[in-house]
Amino acid sequence: MFYSDKPNLLSDENVPAKLTELLRQKGFNVNIVPLGSTDRQISKIAKEKSRIMLTFDKHFINRRLFPPKEHPGIIFMDIHPPKIDVLFLSLLKLFDKVKPAEFKGKLFIVSSFGFRIKE
């Protein structure tokens, strides 16, 4: 995967730092939200910076509060317990199958078994 083939990400503060570090080592451009940011602030940052949100926060799967069509993309990680290696491999599989432009306007629910897409 070339750098241009990798999406720009916005990591919620609930995403483990080790996972963010691993993604960066693989060449992903990952920004982390400021500590204490509200969900609305995170959503606004993602839209303004055209970054795909990466989160464990279930509020972001509420399509009435955060309509996917208004976002560059939302990735909700539904993996419990959140083991770093499982999270990392699951995300790499997602990024291998979905091109950056295909995230726009969609909610991706990632599990250790794959992913589902909601619009």
Q: What is the mean pLDDT of each run of 10 residues along the chain (119 residues)?
A: 77 97 97 97 98 98 96 97 96 96 98 95
CATH 3.40.630 is the classification of domain 6-118: no
Around Cβ 35, how many Cβ atoms within 10 Å? 6
Task: Provide the pLDDT for residue 5.
Answer: 82
Using a 10 angstrom Cβ sphere, with 0-12 exposed, 13-18 middle and 19 or more buried, the burial of residue 119 is exposed
Domain coordinates in residue numbering, the chain: 6-118
Task: Provide the pLDDT for residue 23.
Answer: 98
Hey, CA dihedral for 101, 43, 37, 82, is it positive or negative?
negative
Around Cβ 6, how many Cβ atoms within 10 Å? 17
Task: Provide the pLDDT for residue 4.
Answer: 63
Task: Provide the pLDDT for residue 67.
Answer: 97
Task: Provide the pLDDT for residue 2.
Answer: 47
The model scores a pTM over 0.75:
yes
Distance between CA atoms of residues 70 and 74, nearest Å: 10
